[in-house]
């Protein structure tokens, strides 16, 4: 795609600066990245579900058994080492200087019901612990050392682990408890194995969900590359919260454990406000926000569910490509309910009730504020950026889903950049630069998609409207080219 950069006209820049100064108080609503967003009847309207910032650290409890053991009972990773591994995974998030999120091992998983404490090693144990998590009593991290619990529950030897939010407070909009289960069989040295770095990065991702983060899509073009051999610039910008672990582990490539997108979003959910303790940095001193709305070609109807990426402008004086290394994404309409006015995607559709599935109430999650239907907000490090829209990869469904719509819609227009002459007939390859100051929000970065139907009807088939019916990684040519280049 040709990238032509135009500087914002001085008058527009002045207006943007004025708007930024007027908006130095951080905007109240994160706009992409949160796993769940409150609605009018469940949680705080248009606010993401997060752990209570006033009650940090998040208190989790860890299994008292080994993390990994062989089928004959030989311990491969003992409990102390397992606890240290879990702490290291949480530390990846806790060590973000601009985020106030912290997590603490509150001790062993508490005895509850039929579980007398100690090693969670049977389904009875797990069932009891699960009950305490749903009750909000504790947030357990379970070590299924030999995979036997997963075998009983799932019956599939390929499940490496999971994480989940157990209980949400529908009034305060806070996460009350969460859980994770790690299948130690994948570290036992027998059968299919992950390296320690891969296993840990996988659970850093899962603990991102545990902390309230959703998947995110930046540098989707890695699917055009050879697995585990992604190029350095794309890998640097590839979030840990990308839905699929496709490239080599970040730390194995000498990169920091989190990408700019991960750092921006965990900070947006849990912004640091002080330099305390030393090393912490107020989020508003390093990051600002880009916001706007995505519209159909009519310039009026908002588009929900397309990916918006702010990419740093490249510095030609460095050998690196900053536009690939520094990218942060949001999904349009991410705060808006995915179910308003229809009964196709309601909660528990096979058993619809007035609570979970009516044309009036929609999903219990997400706001009904129509201004949010196509809006986005992207937290970015202070700097200069281009802003672009693209489809969420259609392969990202179910467990790899992104944003409010699952399965995602295809971008009803063409992929394009924002520019100062934004219209339904502008050149989609022309971009303008957005300058973001720390603590400021640049508003009005609206994109009018080119060549869309006047309005997307949710009962139509998105696939038929797609200009790109298949995602990059479902198309044959790019990967073949990459393979041949290799």
Site for another protein in 440-479 (CB under 8 A): 461, 463-464, 469-471, 473-479
Instruction: Give the residue from 269, 309, 277, 285 showing the smallest Cα distance to 101.
Output: 269
Question: Which residues inside 122-151 make contact with another protein, applying CB under 8 A?
Answer: 123-124, 126-128, 130-131, 134, 151
Distance CA 204, CA 213 (A): 11
Phi and psi at residue 388, in whole multiples of 5°? -140, 160
Q: Which of 252, 400, 429, 458 binds another protein (CB under 8 A)?
A: 400
Specify the residue, 10 or 155, whose C-beta has the smaller distance to another protein.
155
Q: CA 260: distance to chain centroid?
A: 12
**From the CB of 313, what's the least distance to another protein, in Å?**
31
Contact 142, 179 (CB under 8 A): yes
Does residue 345 bind another protein (CB under 8 A)?
yes
Among the listed residues 57, 104, 106, 246, the single contact to another protein using CB under 8 A: 246
CB-based burial label for 412 (10 Å; 0-12, 13-18, 19+): buried
Q: Residue 91 half-sphere exposure, CB side, CA atoms within 13 Å?
A: 8
Tokens coding 370: 């129509």
Minimum CB separation of residue 101 from another protein in Å reads 19
Residue 262 CB partners (closer than 8 Å, separation 6+) = 96, 208, 213, 216, 239, 240, 241
- In the list 141, 165, 235, 290, the residue contacting another protein (rule: CB under 8 A) is 165
255 binds another protein (CB under 8 A): no
Among 95, 397, 429, 458, binds another protein (CB under 8 A): 397
- Applying CB under 8 A, the span of 231-239, 392-400, 421-429, 452-460 interacting with another protein comes to 392-400
Q: Is 481 in the site for another protein (CB under 8 A)?
A: yes
Query: Which residue number, 166 or 340, has a Cβ lying nearer to another protein?
Result: 166
Please name the residues in contact with 474: beta carbons below 8 A apart, sequence gap of 6 or more.
394, 395
- Report the alpha-carbon distance of residue 105 to residue 341 in Å, rounded: 44
Three-state secondary structure call for residue 417: strand
C-alpha dist (Å) from residue 324 to 126, 195, 232, 313, 321: 43, 27, 9, 9, 6
Q: Which is nearer to another protein, 20 or 367 (CB)?
A: 367
What tokens appear for 72 in the block?
């004959």
Task: CB nearer to another protein: give 1 or 485.
Answer: 485
Applying CB under 8 A, the span of 58-66, 85-93, 314-322, 391-399 interacting with another protein comes to: 391-399
Q: Name which of residues 180 to 239 contact another protein (CB under 8 A).
A: 186, 192-194, 198, 202, 205-206, 209, 223, 226-228
**Nearer residue to another protein within complex by CB, 24 or 152:** 152
Question: Total residues at the site for another protein (CB under 8 A)?
Answer: 85
Candidate residues 25, 254, 277, 351; the one interacting with another protein per rule CB under 8 A: 351
């Amino acid at each position: 795609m040709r990238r032509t950069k135009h500087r914002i006209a001085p008058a527009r820049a002045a207006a943007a600066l004025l708007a930024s100064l007027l908006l130095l108080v951080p905007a109240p609503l994160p706009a992409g990245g949160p796993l769940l967003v409150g609605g009018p009847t469940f949680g705080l309207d248009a606010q993401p579900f997060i752990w209570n910032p006033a009650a940090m650290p998040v208190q989790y409890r860890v299994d008292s058994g080994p993390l990994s053991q062989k089928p004959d009972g030989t311990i491969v990773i003992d409990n102390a080492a397992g606890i240290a591994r879990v702490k290291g995974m949480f530390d990846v998030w806790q060590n973000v200087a601009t985020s106030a999120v912290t997590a603490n091992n509150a001790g062993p998983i508490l005895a509850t019901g039929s579980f007398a404490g100690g090693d969670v090693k049977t389904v009875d144990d797990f069932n009891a612990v699960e009950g305490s998590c749903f009750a909000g009593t504790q947030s357990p991290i379970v070590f299924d050392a030999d995979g036997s619990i997963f075998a009983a529950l799932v019956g599939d030897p390929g499940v490496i682990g999971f994480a989940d939010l157990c209980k949400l407070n529908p009034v305060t909009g806070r996460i009350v408890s969460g859980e994770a289960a790690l299948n130690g069989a994948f570290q036992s040295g027998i059968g299919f194995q992950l390296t320690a770095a891969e296993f840990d990065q996988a659970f850093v991702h899962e603990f991102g969900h545990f902390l309230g983060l959703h998947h995110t899509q930046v540098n989707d073009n890695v699917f055009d590359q050879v697995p585990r051999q992604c190029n350095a610039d794309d890998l640097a910008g590839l979030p840990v919260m990308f839905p699929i672990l496709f490239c080599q582990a970040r730390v194995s490539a000498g990169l920091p454990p989190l990408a700019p997108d991960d750092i921006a979003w965990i900070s947006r959910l849990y912004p640091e406000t002080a330099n305390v303790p030393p090393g912490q940095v107020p989020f508003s001193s390093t990051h600002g926000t880009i916001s706007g709305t995505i519209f159909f070609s009519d310039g009026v109807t908002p588009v929900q569910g397309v990916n918006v990426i702010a990419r740093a402008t490249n510095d030609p004086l460095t050998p690196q490509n900053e536009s690939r290394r520094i990218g942060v994404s949001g999904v349009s309409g991410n705060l808006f309910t995915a179910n308003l006015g229809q009964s196709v995607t309601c909660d528990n559709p096979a058993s619809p009730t007035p609570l979970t599935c009516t044309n009036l109430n929609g999903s219990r999650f997400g706001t009904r504020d129509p201004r949010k239907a196509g809006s986005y907000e992207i937290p970015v490090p202070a700097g200069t950026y281009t802003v672009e829209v693209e489809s969420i990869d259609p392969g990202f469904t179910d467990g790899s889903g992104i944003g409010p719509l699952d399965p995602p819609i295809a971008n009803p227009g063409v992929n394009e950049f924002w520019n100062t002459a934004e219209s339904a007939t502008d050149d989609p390859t022309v971009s303008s630069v957005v300058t973001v100051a720390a603590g400021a929000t640049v508003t009005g970065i609206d994109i009018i998609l080119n060549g869309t139907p006047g309005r997307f009807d949710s009962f139509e088939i998105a696939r038929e409207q797609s200009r790109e019916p298949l995602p990059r990684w479902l198309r044959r040519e790019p990967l073949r080219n990459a393979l041949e280049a290799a």
